[in-house]
C-alpha cells in the first residue's frame, strides 16, 4: 500500500494535480498539512522533481517547523534541500544574499516592534512633531499599512493631496525609512517590500529564484496581504505551478492587512486554476461541526462548502449563562476541576478562548485562587523583556555597529555615568558628519562639546572592540557568558530585591540555553543567524505543548491549534462581536467577527462550552449586554438540556431603572469605601502600617470592597502607591 492510498479521494486529487495553478479550499481540521507534505513527496518520488525546486511557505515558525518535520519524515533523503519556511524567513534568506544591490549591507538588523517605536520617537523629535497629537502606535500602523500595499513615502505624499495630517505622516514615513537605511536595518514589513523591490529592479535575481522554485506551495493563503501576494505571484509567473491552500472562512487577520480577496478572487488572477475542496473534518465531533456550519453560513462573502465528519455526533454543546463575569470565571474553573478530578481531561487538554486580552484578568484570578496551573499565550514575549533586550543589543552592536538604536540602548547599561545630554551631543555630531552613532563614539575625544564626558565613553568603545575581536574564537554560548562577565551585567540590578534579580538572571540563563540550542541545530552557526532567528520568533511559537497547564488565549492566537476541551468565553453582543463591528457601516467587519467565532468553535475536538454573562465590568463601568448574535445562530437542539425555552433569556436593558434594581438586589462589585478598621475580615485598616513580601513597608491609604475581595491601596516607602487584592497581597500588620 502506497502512502497516498491513506488519503481520502479528494486529498488524493489535491496531491496528484501537480501542474498549473491550484486552489485547495481546506476546511478546519481537514488535513491540509498532510496534503501538502504528501504533495511534496509525490512531486519528488513520482514526478522526478528535484527537492531544491520546491518551496513551501506558511505564516508561523511553529507551522513551518511542523511541516518541516513531516516533510523530513515522509521524503527522507534530499528533504533538506526543500525550502520550508515563513514568508519573512524566506525573504531574509534572499535579502542576506542580494540586499547589497539596494544599498544595504548584508548583515542588516531586523527591528522588532519596540525598536520601531523607539525609532519613531526619534524621528518625531527630529521633525519637532508632538507625539500626543501623532501617537507612535498610530504612526506605526499607518506606515505598516502603506508597506503592505507597497506604497512608498513619495506615493504616500502624493496621495495625501491637501490633507495636512496625511502630509505630516508622509514626512514621518520618509524620515523613518531614511533612518532605517542609515542604521542598516529593516522592519518586518520591509523584509517583504525590499524583496519585491529587489525582484522588480533586478530581473536576473528574480529569474534565478523563478528557476530555483518551479513548484511553490503556500499555506494559510487567506491570510496573505497585497505585498505577500505580489511576492508569490512574481516567483510563480514563469512556471505557474502555484498551489495555494487556505480557508476563506478562517480569514481573521484583516487588522494585520490580510486581504480575503486574494483567496476569493484567485480564479480571476489564474483563470485556469483547479479548485479542490477539502470538507471532511478529522478533528471535531458532529455536533461541534454542525454548530460551526450553522454560524458561518450566515456570511455572504465566502465560497460554498460544508464540513462533515466520520466521527460520532459526540456530546452536545454546553451553554453557561452567568450573572456576572466573576461567576463565569468561577463556573468555568469549577468545570475544569471536575473534569480533571474525574480523569476525563488533563489541564493541558483545556483551552479558554476570548475576544480580548483584557478578559483574561478575572479568569487568571480565579485560577490563582483555586491553585490551578495555567499559561496565558500572548503575554510579554520572552525576547521583549528588559534584560533580554539589553543583551541582544550588545550582540547587535557587535554584529552591526551601524544599528544606532542598539548602541544607544546599552551605552549606559550597566551604569557608566553617560547621561542623556552626552548621548544627544554625540547624536548631533553623528548627524552633522553623516556617520553612525557608534562611529561618532569612537571619535569621542574629537567632539568638542563632550568635554570630560569623553573619558566615560572611551572605555565602552574599547570594551565593544575587545569583545568583537573575541567573537571568532569562541562559541556563541561562551561569547554570551563573556559579555555578561565583561560588562558585569548584574550591576544593572544591584538596587532591586534579590527575588527580582534572581528572576531576571533566570531569563538570562534561558537566553544562554537558547544560544546553545541554536548552535547545536545549525551546521554553520553565526551571530547574524542567531539574531535573525530571534527576530522572527512570534508569541504563539512559545506555546509549550508539554506543560500540563490550562491555556488561556485570544481567538486570534488560537488559530491553527486544537484542544480536546474548549471554553468560548464572553459571548455577548458588544464584546463578541465587538461594539465597533456591530455599529460599523462596513458589513465585512461583522463577517470577519463571525469567521473568528467559527475559528473558535472549530478549535474544539470533543467538547465545547460557550459562556456569557448578564453583566460585566468593562473599562470601569458595569454593562448589561445581550447574548451574542452568533450564539443565536446555533440551533438550540445542539445544546445540552439547559435551556428550558426555545430561546436564550434576554438581558435587562441598560437603563437607570434596571441599573438601580440590580444594584439594590445584589452588591455585585459596587465598591464601598471603608473607614478605619471598618473592614472586619481584615486584621488591618486605613492608616495602619503593613508589610508586603516584595514591596516592603507601607501605609494603607484606602480599602474598597469588591463583593468577593478587598482592593487595598498602600503607599510603600520604596515602591510608591500600589493597588492590590487583599487575598493575593497577604499584607501583615506591623
Partners of 575 in beta bridges: 578
Instruction: Select which of 177, 210, 250, 554 is catalytic.
Output: 250
- Per the CB < 8 A criterion, the answer to whether 450 and 457 are in contact is yes
**pLDDT band at residue 228 using 50, 70 and 90 as cut-offs:** very high
**pLDDT band at residue 673 using 50, 70 and 90 as cut-offs:** very low
Instruction: Select which of 112, 220, 387, 592 is catalytic.
Output: 220
pLDDT in tens, 495-508: 776 667 777 887 88
**pLDDT band at residue 537 using 50, 70 and 90 as cut-offs:** low
pLDDT of residue 660: 41
- pLDDT of 380 higher than 70: no
Q: Is 230 a catalytic residue?
A: no
**If you average pLDDT over residues 333-350, what whole number do you get?**
94
The average confidence (pLDDT) of the chain is: 86
Q: Is 32 a catalytic residue?
A: yes
pLDDT of residue 656: 39
Name which of 623, 646, 529 is nearest 572 in CA terms: 623
DSSP-assigned letters across all residues of 573-586:
TBBTTBHHHHH-S-
Name which of 7, 29, 545 is nearest 250 in CA terms: 29
687 versus 664: which is more confidently predicted? 687
Instruction: Select which of 504, 603, 614, 616 is catalytic.
Output: 603
In angstroms, what CA-CA distances link 18 with 13, 23, 275, 469? Answer: 9, 11, 13, 51
Instruction: Name which of 296-300, 352-356, 421-425, 723-727 the model is least confident about.
Output: 723-727
- Per the CB < 8 A criterion, the answer to whether 551 and 351 are in contact is yes
**If you average pLDDT over residues 567-576, what whole number do you get?**
93
With 0.85 as the threshold, say if the pTM is over it: no
pLDDT of residue 204: 96
Instruction: Name which of 65-69, 83-87, 676-680, 685-689 the model is least confident about.
Output: 676-680
Q: Is 33 a catalytic residue?
A: yes
Alpha carbon distance 129, 137 (integer Å): 14
Element holding 729 (H helix, E strand): helix 726-729
pLDDT of residue 218: 95
Instruction: Name which of 113-127, 441-455, 684-698 the model is least confident about.
Output: 684-698
pLDDT of residue 665: 42
Q: Is 689 a catalytic residue?
A: no
pLDDT of residue 502: 74
What is the C-alpha R_g of the chain?
A: 28
Instruction: Select which of 11, 33, 602, 662 is catalytic.
Output: 33
- pLDDT of 664 higher than 50: no
- Per the CB < 8 A criterion, the answer to whether 398 and 466 are in contact is no
Alpha carbon distance 569, 405 (integer Å): 41
Torsion on CA atoms 662, 666, 670, 672, rounded to nearest 10: 140
Whose cell is 548584508? That residue is 106
Name which of 599, 605, 600 is nearest 250 in CA terms: 599
- pLDDT of 679 higher than 60: no
- Per the CB < 8 A criterion, the answer to whether 319 and 610 are in contact is yes
pLDDT of residue 641: 64
pLDDT in tens, 94-149: 999 999 999 999 999 999 888 898 999 999 998 998 887 888 888 998 999 999 99
Whose cell is 542576506? That residue is 96
Instruction: Select which of 112, 148, 219, 247 is catalytic.
Output: 219
- pLDDT of 566 higher than 80: yes
- pLDDT of 666 higher than 60: no
pLDDT of residue 708: 61
Q: Is 442 a catalytic residue?
A: no
pLDDT of residue 29: 92
Alpha carbon distance 675, 165 (integer Å): 51
**pLDDT band at residue 381 using 50, 70 and 90 as cut-offs:** low
**If you average pLDDT over residues 224-245, what whole number do you get?**
94
pLDDT of residue 172: 95
**Residue 101 CB neighbours (<10 A):** 14
Q: Is 131 a catalytic residue?
A: no
Amino acid at each position: 500500500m502506497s502512502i497516498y492510498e491513506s488519503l481520502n479521494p479528494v486529498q488524493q486529487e489535491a496531491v496528484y494535480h501537480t501542474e498549473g495553478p491550484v486552489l485547495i479550499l481546506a476546511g478546519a481540521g481537514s488535513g491540509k498539512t498532510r496534503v501538502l507534505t504528501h504533495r511534496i513527496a509525490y512531486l519528488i518520488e513520482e514526478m522526478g522533481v528535484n527537492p531544491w525546486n520546491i518551496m513551501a511557505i506558511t505564516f508561523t515558525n511553529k507551522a513551518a517547523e511542523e511541516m518541516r518535520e513531516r516533510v523530513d519524515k515522509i521524503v527522507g533523503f534530499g528533504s533538506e534541500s526543500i525550502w520550508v519556511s515563513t514568508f519573512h524567513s524566506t525573504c531574509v534568506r534572499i535579502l542576506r544574499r542580494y540586499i547589497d544591490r539596494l544599498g544595504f549591507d548584508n548583515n542588516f538588523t531586523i527591528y522588532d516592534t519596540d525598536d520601531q517605536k523607539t525609532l519613531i520617537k526619534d524621528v518625531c523629535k527630529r521633525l519637532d512633531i508632538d507625539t500626543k497629537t501623532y501617537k507612535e502606535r498610530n504612526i506605526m500602523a499607518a506606515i505598516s499599512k502603506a508597506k503592505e500595499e507597497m506604497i512608498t513615502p513619495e506615493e504616500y505624499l502624493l496621495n495625501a493631496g491637501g490633507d495636512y495630517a496625511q502630509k505630516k505622516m508622509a514626512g514621518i514615513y520618509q524620515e523613518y525609512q531614511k533612518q532605517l537605511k542609515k542604521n542598516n536595518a529593516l522592519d518586518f514589513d520591509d523584509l517583504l517590500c525590499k524583496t519585491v523591490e529587489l525582484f522588480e529592479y533586478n530581473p536576473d535575481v528574480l529569474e534565478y529564484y523563478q528557476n530555483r522554485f518551479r513548484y511553490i506551495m503556500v499555506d494559510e493563503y487567506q491570510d496573505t496581504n497585497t505585498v505577500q501576494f505580489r511576492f508569490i505571484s512574481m516567483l510563480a509567473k514563469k512556471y505557474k505551478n502555484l498551489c495555494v491552500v487556505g480557508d476563506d472562512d478562517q480569514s481573521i487577520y484583516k487588522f494585520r492587512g490580510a486581504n480575503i480577496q486574494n483567496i476569493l478572487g484567485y480564479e480571476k488572477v489564474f483563470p485556469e486554476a483547479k479548485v479542490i475542496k477539502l470538507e471532511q473534518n478529522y478533528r471535531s465531533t458532529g455536533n461541534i461541526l454542525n454548530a460551526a456550519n450553522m454560524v458561518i453560513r450566515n456570511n455572504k462573502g465566502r465560497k460554498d462548502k460544508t464540513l462533515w465528519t466520520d466521527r460520532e455526533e459526540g456530546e452536545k454543546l454546553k451553554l453557561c449563562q452567568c450573572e456576572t463575569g466573576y461567576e463565569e470565571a468561577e463556573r468555568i474553573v469549577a468545570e475544569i476541576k471536575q473534569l480533571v478530578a474525574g480523569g476525563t481531561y488533563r489541564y493541558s487538554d483545556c483551552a479558554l478562548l476570548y475576544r480580548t486580552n483584557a478578559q483574561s484578568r478575572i479568569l487568571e484570578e480565579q485560577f490563582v485562587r483555586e491553585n490551578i496551573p495555567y499559561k496565558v499565550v500572548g503575554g510579554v514575549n520572552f525576547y521583549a523583556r528588559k534584560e533580554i533586550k539589553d543583551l541582544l543589543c550588545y550582540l547587535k552592536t557587535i554584529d552591526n555597529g551601524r544599528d544606532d538604536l542598539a548602541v544607544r540602548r546599552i551605552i549606559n547599561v550597566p551604569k557608566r555615568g553617560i547621561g542623556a545630554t552626552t548621548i544627544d551631543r554625540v547624536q548631533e555630531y553623528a548627524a552633522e558628519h553623516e556617520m553612525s552613532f557608534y562611529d561618532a563614539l569612537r571619535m569621542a575625544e574629537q567632539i568638542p562639546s563632550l568635554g570630560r564626558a569623553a573619558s566615560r565613553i572611551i572605555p565602552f568603545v574599547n570594551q565593544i572592540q575587545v569583545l568583537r575581536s573575541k567573537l571568532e574564537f569562541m562559541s556563541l554560548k561562551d561569547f554570551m557568558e563573556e559579555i555578561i562577565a565583561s560588562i558585569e551585567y548584574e550591576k544593572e540590578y544591584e538596587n532591586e530585591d534579590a527575588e527580582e534579580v534572581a528572576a531576571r538572571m533566570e531569563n538570562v540563563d534561558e537566553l544562554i540555553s537558547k544560544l546553545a540550542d541554536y548552535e547545536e541545530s545549525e551546521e554553520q552557526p553565526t551571530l547574524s543567524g542567531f539574531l535573525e532567528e530571534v527576530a522572527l520568533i512570534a508569541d504563539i511559537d512559545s506555546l509549550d505543548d508539554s506543560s500540563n497547564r490550562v491555556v488561556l488565549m485570544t481567538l486570534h492566537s488560537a488559530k491553527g491549534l486544537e484542544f480536546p476541551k474548549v471554553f468560548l468565553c464572553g459571548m455577548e453582543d458588544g464584546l463578541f462581536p465587538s461594539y465597533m463591528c456591530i455599529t460599523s457601516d462596513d458589513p465585512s467587519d461583522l463577517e470577519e467577527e463571525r469567521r473568528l467565532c467559527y475559528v473558535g468553535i472549530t478549535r474544539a475536538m470533543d467538547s465545547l462550552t460557550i459562556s456569557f454573562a448578564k453583566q460585566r465590568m468593562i473599562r470601569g463601568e458595569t454593562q448589561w449586554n445581550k447574548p451574542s448574535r452568533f450564539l443565536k445562530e446555533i440551533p438550540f437542539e445542539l445544546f445540552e438540556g439547559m435551556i428550558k425555552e426555545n430561546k436564550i433569556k434576554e438581558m435587562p436593558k441598560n437603563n437607570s431603572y434596571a441599573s438601580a434594581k440590580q444594584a439594590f438586589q445584589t452588591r455585585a462589585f459596587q465598591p464601598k469605601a471603608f473607614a478605619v478598621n471598618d473592614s472586619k475580615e481584615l486584621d488591618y485598616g486605613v492608616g495602619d502600617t503593613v508589610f508586603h513580601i516584595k514591596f516592603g513597608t507601607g501605609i494603607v491609604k484606602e480599602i474598597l470592597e469588591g463583593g468577593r475581595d478587598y482592593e487595598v491601596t498602600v503607599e510603600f516607602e520604596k515602591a510608591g502607591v500600589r493597588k492590590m487584592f487583599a487575598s493575593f497581597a497577604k499584607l501583615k500588620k506591623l
